[in-house]
Amino acid sequence: NETGLTGKSVIVTGAGSGIGRAAALRFASAGAKVLVADLNGETARETVESVEAAGGAAVAVTGDLGDQAVVDRVVATAVEEFGSLDVLVNNAGIMDRMSAAADVSDAEWERVLRVNLTAPFLLTRAALPHMLAAGKGAIVNTASEAGLRGSAAGAAYTASKHGVIGLTKNLAVMYRGKGIRANAIAPGGVATNITVDAEQGAHGPATIAPYFGNIGSVTSAEDQAAAIVFLASDAAAGINGAILPVDSGWAAV
């Protein structure tokens, strides 16, 4: 088919839920083989079962992607099971407590940065040798509206998603001419299982709420998955270093 994804080996992180699960199913229906990486073994297995029920091929690897050993296992399993690594989707992420800087604990800062920014870096670094050897590859990162503006989340999440956008652009520049493209989606509000910690900082939602009025309508995980698969596909062969808002127009406000 015209996606060029038939038979390709694709890693999707956070594929046990929400945007990642929708992306795994869409890649599989385009003919790709999908490695489902998630912290939650039960939901990861459910995604694998859904892919298989639809006639596709998938395998799950469970663990914390902030851990180098888990990252190495994810990449090695994709290569061993599927024979190559063509697409990496860094999608797993966690929300912060919507806290302003003075209210952010060391633990919150370190966890949000590790999962949302360090894990995509670790996975990318582990995937690149395989893509460079093949002379081709596509990386798609799930950033956020919070990577484009200061009014969509707390300090930690906002910094992490600005970081993801910086990493995406730098990859695009460093590896252009080597057959590897790196792009990101910037979702606005999406109906998924992601949660904001109930106990929030003093300058949290109340401070940001007035700016949230611009959010527009909430999109579906499937809307986000369509953009991820497009950016990974041959239809996006000329697109590198792009940050694509999938946000019902929030970024245009």
Q: How many residues bind ligand NAD (CB under 6 A)?
A: 27
Residue 220 near residue 190 (C-beta atoms within 8 A)? yes
| Phi and psi angles of residue 229, each rounded to the nearest 5 degrees, phi first | -65, -40
| Residue with Cβ nearer ligand NAD (64 or 136) | 64
Minimum distance between the CB of residue 70 and ligand NAD, rounded to whole angstroms? 7
Taking the alpha carbons at both ends of the chain, their separation in whole angstroms is 36
Stretch 65-94 residues interacting with ligand NAD (CB under 6 A): 65-66, 91-94
| Residue with Cβ nearer ligand NAD (141 or 240) | 141
> Which residue is associated with the tokens 């798609």?
140
Minimum distance between the CB of residue 127 and ligand NAD, rounded to whole angstroms? 15
Residue 221 near residue 192 (C-beta atoms within 8 A)? yes
Binding letters toward ligand NAD, positions 29-48, x by CB under 6 A: ---------xxx--x-----
| Phi and psi angles of residue 7, each rounded to the nearest 5 degrees, phi first | 80, -5
| Residue with Cβ nearer ligand NAD (4 or 127) | 127
| Residue with Cβ nearer ligand NAD (239 or 251) | 251
Minimum distance between the CB of residue 246 and ligand NAD, rounded to whole angstroms? 9
Residue numbers annotated as active site? 157
Minimum distance between the CB of residue 160 and ligand NAD, rounded to whole angstroms? 8
Alpha-carbon gap, residue 179 to 62, rounded angstroms:
30
Binding letters toward ligand NAD, positions 105-144, x by CB under 6 A: ----------x--------------------------x-x
Q: List CB contacts of 247: < 8 A, sequence separation 6 or more.
A: 145, 186, 187, 188, 189, 215, 216, 219
Minimum distance between the CB of residue 60 and ligand NAD, rounded to whole angstroms? 11
Q: List CB contacts of 15: < 8 A, sequence separation 6 or more.
A: 21, 23, 24, 34, 36, 37, 38, 44, 47, 91
Which of 190, 225, 227, 228 binds ligand NAD (CB under 6 A)? It is 190
Q: What single letter denotes the amino acid at residue 121?
A: F
- According to DSSP, the β-strands at 137-142 and 87-90 are parallel
Residue 19 near residue 187 (C-beta atoms within 8 A)? yes
| Residue with Cβ nearer ligand NAD (14 or 154) | 14
Residue 229 near residue 129 (C-beta atoms within 8 A)? no
Interface contacts to ligand NAD, rule CB under 6 A: 13-14, 16-20, 38-40, 43, 64-66, 91-94, 115, 142, 144, 187, 189-190, 192-194
